[in-house]
Structure 1
């Protein structure tokens, strides 16, 4: 079977043979609730550069202008944008099947260590939704969308206005969380979970509405949080934010594309997921160092908190299963949980040597997932 790099080279050569076709490039409106200049938007522009160079498609990327993060899912559904960056936990019931594996991301940072929890979860989410979860596909269809891959952030840390050095320091703290399991982690140690949209975190921290936000380090730059973050505690709660459709396309738009265009989107989509995920991984170290230079205190995770977190993740499995079964009506939750847990271990191994290499991650996502999709049928029924 032709590998990804050979396929990409052949496509580029064939497209270059007909340069006049570039004038007829079809533009898709892509909405994302991030400001310009960050791990995500930079990755999207890298993807768009390849899309324009190798196909007759291109994106017009609206960065925090057309729709914010919470508006994007219904905006893509209703055709206000042709595609977008979809945060599934904002709509817990509508995307409950996808949110199950997203809520299991803390497994990526316990047990066998992962080189990049984000790379692991990008692979897990993409494979699970596209190859193993018909119910996920039906929920996206109900939202008039087609799913073209996930990303994973670096492990979640504590971005705080007061220091977190021990379990005792968590007690009474107001902590913003976007993942239910991480919210329960905070509550387990005596903190209070606060749910607010990502675009509102700066104001919430600056006004004392929250003491900490559980976020990946690159969000310091993505959401301009350097000024309000005085302390960062590493390794807590761990896990990754993976409830993301990095390239969800409006279903009507998808079905209006030619088979060749859909094939090209499937071919290039793994690069989009890889570029954003690797950008995130690289930015984590850079932004922590920048925060340090700006006077933010960087606190290493105490060993006692690491052990307590491992115990919490083990015990929380039953809570996750019961929640998704009772609150959202998911069926066969035990089997799904075990399948996803197995995928997490699988992708820990697969990404060990490719987690920081965009081409290697792209090849991996292509081989394991996207090469198995048929442009003639995917999203067409």
Structure 2
């Protein structure tokens, strides 16, 4: 090998080392098990992002290993993860404006046609609201050193129980695990006993007899491995949906990204939101059928429970506005819920003819994610 060949070889090696040094892997913490729809959607989105960036900036998903659901906001704030799935209802004091909207999901029960598109419609309405109509929501995330970049929704919340819980009589004193303040208020209104705990604790509590039921979407019963512990499912109450901020990013990490990388990240997260939400929507019937085959009894809530739930939804709007104003100083509650209700109706209509995750993703990108000002959103 002559002198010039040696120099060329050395230069090539130096460039390779420089490229390796410049490459950045973003850690993505999700407190769900690897089999969950949320993790699968995030992993597919990570592949898209990694391909789009050519490996200069990559994303790696850590399901249930890096941070639990309860640990994620603090872990994001301290930089223990670059990206994380945040369940804002677990943190009422930190995210009051966001939770006012997220915990008003039972509005869905009043919108014709919502059930058929509930998961993707609720996700879209929340994301569009936070991105376009709620500067306070974004300030809440910024105060926790994170940037909101989208989220996913679920199918209706139902009663997943170890015994039949169908009538008002059955519900009296029943111990119900709840994942948000709205379901706690509903539980108390109909005479049950709400119990708050992390999603990572549900299976053990169910198996130990601490709980009679878990208020949760049916796909999540299987996402969290509780299919063998639930023997009765009651549909029709309480209703509503859950919203997860799927891909909040540490603010410092977000500011490291170039404008092009931020755009590619949002494209990937529009895909994650669509694929996850559609997986919930399409998976509900499949999960219910599998549950029946495994001996789970499926019930419809008794008429008096449905009527009591309707009455609760009507009364809860003003109670929610008053509660968030008095407890957390949320001053725009009425305006916020009016705007959000309009967005919910818009998205139920928009998604009525959408067929599959690809069509939903296109709507998400065209209507919301493509309109985010990446030069301003989350930038110091």
Match of 1:68 in 2: 68
Q: Could you tell me which residue of structure 1 aligns to residue 278 of structure 2?
A: 278
SS of alignment partner, residue 116 of structure 1: helix
* 1:229 aligned partner: 230
2:14: which partner in 1?
Answer: none
Contact 2:158 2:236 (8 Å CA) reproduced: yes
Distance 2:141 2:329 in 1: 17
Tell me which of 38, 41, 58 is aligned to 1:40: 38
SS of alignment partner, residue 41 of structure 1: helix
Judge conservation of contact 1:108–1:120 (CA < 8 Å) in 2: no
Q: Which residue of 2 aligns with 1:10?
A: none
Name 2:12's counterpart in structure 1. Answer: none
Kindly report which structure 2 residues correspond to 1:180-329, keeping only aligned pairs within 5 A, or say none: 180-242=181-243, 244-329=244-329
How large is the Cα RMSD of the aligned pairs?
1.6
1:78 is matched with: 78
- Say if 2:172 is the partner of 1:174: no
What SS is found at the alignment partner of 1:317? helix
CA–CA separation in structure 1 for the residues paired with 2:117 and 2:164 = 25
CA contact (8 A) 1:116 1:281 kept: yes
Shift of 1:268: 2.5
8 Å contact kept, 2:173–2:191: yes
CA distance in 2, matches of 1:84, 1:185: 29
Alpha-carbon separation, structure 2, partners of 1:215 and 1:154: 9
1:378 aligned partner:
377
For structure 1, which segment, 66-75 or 114-123, has the greater mean C-alpha deviation from structure 2 after superposition? 114-123
Distance 1:373 1:41 in 2: 24
Whole-Å separation in 2 of the counterparts to 1:295 and 1:58: 44
Q: Can you list the C-alpha shifts for 1:165-222, whole angstroms capped at 9, x where unaligned? A: 2222111101110111111111111101110111111111111111001001111222
Aligned residues of 1:30 and 1:82 also touching (Cα < 8 A): yes
1:89 has 2:89 as partner? yes
Question: What is the CA–CA distance in structure 2 between the aligned matches of 1:310 and 1:351, rounded to whole Å?
Answer: 25
Larger radius of gyration: 2
How much has 1:267 moved relative to structure 2? Answer: 2.5
CA contact (8 A) 1:108 1:348 kept: no
Offset from partner CA, 1:101-131 (integer Å, 9 cap, x none): 1111011122423122211210111001111
3-state SS, counterpart of residue 70 of structure 2? coil
Q: Distance in 1 between matches of 2:316 and 2:232?
A: 27
Matched, 1:28 2:29: no
Residue 25 of structure 1: how far off its partner (Å): 5.0
- Does the 8 Å CA contact 1:324/1:330 hold for their aligned counterparts? yes
**Unpaired stretches in structure 1, ≥5 consecutive residues:** 1-20
CA contact (8 A) 2:111 2:345 kept: no
Q: Between Structure 1 and Structure 2, how many residues are aligned?
A: 359
Q: Structure 2 stretches of 5 or more lacking a match?
A: 1-17
The 3-state SS of whatever aligns with 1:273 is helix
Whole-angstrom distance in 2 between the partners of 1:63 and 1:94: 24
* Structure 1 residue 22, shift from structure 2 partner: 9.8
- Return the offset for 1:308: 2.5
